[in-house]
Amino acid sequence: MTADFTDDFRFSTTPEAAALVRRACHRLLPDCIGVSRATPQEDRAGVDYWISTPRGRLSLDLKLRRRDYRARSGGLDCVIELDGHGSSGWLLKAGAADLLLFATADSHKCALFRTRELRTALLMNLSRWMMDGRAKEITTESVHAGRTWQNRAVIVDADLLWQAIDQLDGTEWDAAANDGMAA
């Protein structure tokens, strides 16, 4: 399966996307006091937004899709890039953002994860999830500035990721969750 994320990437820089991010962060992070767009240079380094809290700033990487393919089933699929351009995908790269927000523009469903916890849960469970069919590998294709490239990614349900993260230390992170609606 090949999924083209070019239009999703373009949409992620619109005012509508920024509004969705602000609503999600203020609702999912109780101590959020502000959300600001990162600079183009920070964006290229993997930070799309900065979240201000009383304890300091957190960096956020937005993974936005315009269409929710599981809207009727109630779940939220997270597309996690494993590799592309001959290097590790965004989740496995050093210097990744503190938080990852997966969101869909049409259904307003979202899931917010701490990057380090998500990375650990994925690395510990992905091979088993692939074998038992709970994760599916896809190829994504993107076009930007006249260049086309393909990446290898997996689709994993947000609730499955949360369960795996909860099992890491036996406690839930209540500050952010997969609560369905970002609006």
Q: Is the predicted pLDDT of residue 120 greater than 60, yes or no?
A: yes
Kindly tell me the number of DSSP H helices and DSSP E strands found in the chain: 5, 10
- State the average pLDDT over residues 73-99: 79
Contacts of 109 (CB under 8 A, 6+ apart): 68, 71, 76, 103, 178, 180, 181, 182
Structure tokens at 163: 């369960």
| Alpha-carbon gap, residue 30 to 45, rounded angstroms | 27
Distance, in Å, from the CA atom of 108 to the CA atom of 134, rounded to the nearest integer, reads 23
Q: Mean pLDDT for the chain?
A: 83
Q: What is the pTM of this model?
A: 0.84
Identify whether the C-beta of residue 69 lies closer than 8 Å to the C-beta of residue 107. Answer: no
For residue range 65-83, list pLDDT tens digits in order.
Answer: 877 777 677 788 898 888 8
* Other C-beta atoms lying within 10 Å of the C-beta of residue 165: 20
Query: What's the pLDDT score for residue 65?
Result: 83
Confidence of residue 124 (pLDDT cuts 50, 70, 90): very high
Rounded Cα distance, 47 and 64, in Å: 14
